[in-house]
Amino acid sequence: MGCCGSSLFTETHPEKDHHHHHHSRHNHPSSTGESDTGGGASGGGGGGGGGIPPFSEFSLSDLKSATNNFSSDYIVSESGEKAPNLVYKGRLQNRRWIAVKKFTKMAWPDPKQFAEEAWGVGKLRHRRLANLIGYCCDGDERLLVAEYMPNDTLAKHLFHWENQTIEWAMRLRVSLYIAEALDYCSTEGRPLYHDLNAYRVLFDEDGDPRLSCFGLMKNSRDGKSYSTNLAYTPPEYLRNGRVTPESVIFSFGTVLLDLLSGKHIPPSHALDMIRGKNILLLMDSHLEGNFSTEEATMVVELASQCLQYEPRERPNLKKLVSTLAPLQNKPDVPSYVMLGIPKPEEAPPTPQRPLSPMGEACQRMDLTAIHQILVMTHYRDDEGTNELSFQEWTQQMRDMLEARKRGDFAFRDKDFKTAIDCYSQFIDVGTMVSPTVYARRSLCNLLCDQPDAALRDAMQAQCVYADWPTAFYMQAVALAKLEMHKDAADMLNEAAGLEEKRQRGGR
């Protein structure tokens, strides 16, 4: 019940399908088979990232907790022996799902260089990307943290589908969205994408295709940028071992071939078919002819241009976007419909139980009303949560209670930053625990626009007093502030149930 304890970090049924594929501490200036599933909040329009947390450094303990100590049950992608980089699914304390890519120390021996590379990628924010939200560089550990994408990879939907193949309109959408992602990255000064392939294209909770951010960093400082079969590698990379923006266009052409054929066809073989005018032979037979020949011809021609031997003869990213945008023929149909996956869950309706004034204030996220209620309630719910010896009273109690008293005055006077400092002094001594102090500091954090810290305090209040409705109510408000509306509604419902039980005779 609620968010307390280890249940925060894990679920009882972590996915183990290897076809499946991000809390802040400090703010600071593959192979063919490696999928990068990285979920959670969807990005904003343009370069915006609504709902995406700011890029930050994670502690190793946070990521261990999120992935059940990097349990093999949480692995969602592994790249093989030549580049032993694993991707794990995990869940943070604030209930956000993440994807964690684990490198070896040998891949990035210099922690400063790894951190600088990660910060460079972490500045990017776009709705077409599975965005990078953090990293960890602790001892020998080198980890990247990204949004988690729950609906598999393009490779799974094209090559390993079970119920239905991707319809033509969805394939066109994938091609445009990935071109838009690459164009955004290039515009923001990150034009190189390493080893672009169908495993790097992920589907979010709405079924929209996103480009994995992991490909914006190499698998190692000095490692190869392409770990796929040589038949799919840009010819200039084979000549000089360097990735250029034109190399990315070549790889995009191979993804277009995947979308056209439903198979992973070597570019040389596909080009022979195109030259022989065997376009229909190239098309995926599972489409059963349900595509526009005119549209298919234009995509085939674009793929052919991308796969030109000479890099200068390939189109640029703007040309890709301008060619693919007019081909979109089902703009009003949601991606999840075309992908054949369930509709994303919506927040449940308002709890049927009658809400108390505290519940109603939390439901409408009225922080002023919550503040008034907590001031009026004072500390009457703290009875029985502490048993102190006489020695403890005489040694620490006076200073600790004085800190709490100063915090109470500041809280009453709406000086919330001072209240946070004073309540933190009280909590840090550790002699006495008070769920009310945690609840008050939680509200102060909300009013100071720190919902992650607010959620942690509300959870601590629950740990001190397991069935305290106020702890659940404060968690509900913090979750709503974090745009986790379904979890917030569940928590509000749970709080209302505890309050009802309390009124019937509980504490």
Claim to verify: residue 81 and residue 142 sit in the same structural domain = yes
Residue at which a domain ends, from 147, 166, 191? 147
Would you place residue 18 in the very low, low, confident or very high pLDDT band (cuts 50, 70, 90)? very low
The number of beta carbons lying within 10 Å of the beta carbon of residue 272 is 11
> Could you give the CA distance from residue 339 to residue 346 in angstroms, rounded to a whole number?
18
Q: Is 453 a member of any domain?
A: yes
Sheet holding 56-57, edge to edge: 56-57, 132-138, 141-147, 97-103, 86-91, 75-78
Residue at which a domain ends, from 307, 339, 371? 339
Residue 384: what pLDDT?
56
Which CATH number fits the domain that encloses residue 460? 1.25.40.10
> Could you give the CA distance from residue 130 to residue 150 in angstroms, rounded to a whole number?
11
Claim to verify: residue 270 and residue 303 sit in the same structural domain = yes
Number of structural domains in the chain:
3
pLDDT at 178 over 80: yes
Share the mean pLDDT of the chain: 81
pLDDT digits (tens, 9 = 90+) for 367-377: 998 998 888 88
- C-alpha separations of 375 from 93, 161, 378, 440, 500 in Å: 28, 57, 5, 9, 22
pLDDT digits (tens, 9 = 90+) for 108-164: 888 999 999 999 999 999 999 999 999 999 988 999 999 999 999 999 999 988 778
Q: Is 10 a member of any domain?
A: no
Residue 116: what pLDDT?
94
Tell me which residue range forms the domain holding 115.
56-147
Catalytic residue positions?
195
Q: Is 161 a member of any domain?
A: yes
Sheet holding 209-212, edge to edge: 129-130, 209-212, 201-203
Q: Mean pLDDT lowest for which of 24-33, 312-321, 340-349, 360-369?
A: 24-33
User: What percentage of the chain exceeds 90 in pLDDT?
Assistant: 48
Answer yes or no: are the C-beta atoms of 303 and 257 closer than 8 Å. yes
Claim to verify: residue 76 and residue 121 sit in the same structural domain = yes
Claim to verify: residue 236 and residue 261 sit in the same structural domain = yes
> Could you give the CA distance from residue 418 to residue 422 in angstroms, rounded to a whole number?
6
Q: Is 227 a member of any domain?
A: yes
Instruction: Please list, residue by residue across 239-261, b when 16 or more beta carbons sit within 10 angstroms of its beta carbon and e when fewer do.
Output: eeeebeebbbbbbbbbbbbbbbb
pLDDT at 46 over 50: no
Answer yes or no: are the C-beta atoms of 35 and 153 closer than 8 Å. yes
Which CATH number fits the domain that encloses residue 290? 1.10.510.10
Claim to verify: residue 365 and residue 288 sit in the same structural domain = no
Q: Mean pLDDT lowest for which of 195-204, 288-297, 363-372, 494-503?
A: 494-503
Would you place residue 505 in the very low, low, confident or very high pLDDT band (cuts 50, 70, 90)? low
Residue 24: what pLDDT?
38
Residue 99: what pLDDT?
95
Claim to verify: residue 88 and residue 166 sit in the same structural domain = no
Residue 385: what pLDDT?
55
pLDDT at 351 over 60: no
Q: How many CA atoms lie within 13 A of 297 on its CB side?
A: 4
Most confident of 260-274, 309-323, 378-392, 486-500: 309-323
pLDDT digits (tens, 9 = 90+) for 455-470: 999 998 888 888 899 9
User: What percentage of the chain exceeds 70 in pLDDT?
Assistant: 80
Q: Is 215 a member of any domain?
A: yes
pLDDT at 229 over 80: no
Residue at which a domain ends, from 102, 124, 147? 147
Claim to verify: residue 60 and residue 92 sit in the same structural domain = yes
Claim to verify: residue 419 and residue 495 sit in the same structural domain = yes
More confident residue, 142 or 486: 142
Would you place residue 506 in the very low, low, confident or very high pLDDT band (cuts 50, 70, 90)? low
Q: Is 49 a member of any domain?
A: no
Would you place residue 52 in the very low, low, confident or very high pLDDT band (cuts 50, 70, 90)? confident
pLDDT digits (tens, 9 = 90+) for 430-453: 767 789 999 999 999 999 999 999
Claim to verify: residue 156 and residue 301 sit in the same structural domain = yes
pLDDT digits (tens, 9 = 90+) for 252-303: 999 999 999 998 888 888 888 888 777 788 899 999 999 999 999 999 999 9
pLDDT at 223 over 70: no
Claim to verify: residue 257 and residue 306 sit in the same structural domain = yes
pLDDT at 341 over 70: yes
Strand partners, 57: 26, 135
For residue 445 the two structure tokens come to 């954090």
Claim to verify: residue 115 and residue 84 sit in the same structural domain = yes
Mean of pLDDT values over 217-243: 70
Residue 224: what pLDDT?
57
Claim to verify: residue 133 and residue 268 sit in the same structural domain = no
Instruction: Please list, residue by residue across 109-141, b when 16 or more beta carbons sit within 10 angstroms of its beta carbon and e when fewer do.
Output: eeeeebbebbbbbbebbbbbbbbbbbbbbeeeb
Q: Is 47 a member of any domain?
A: no
Q: Is 216 a member of any domain?
A: yes
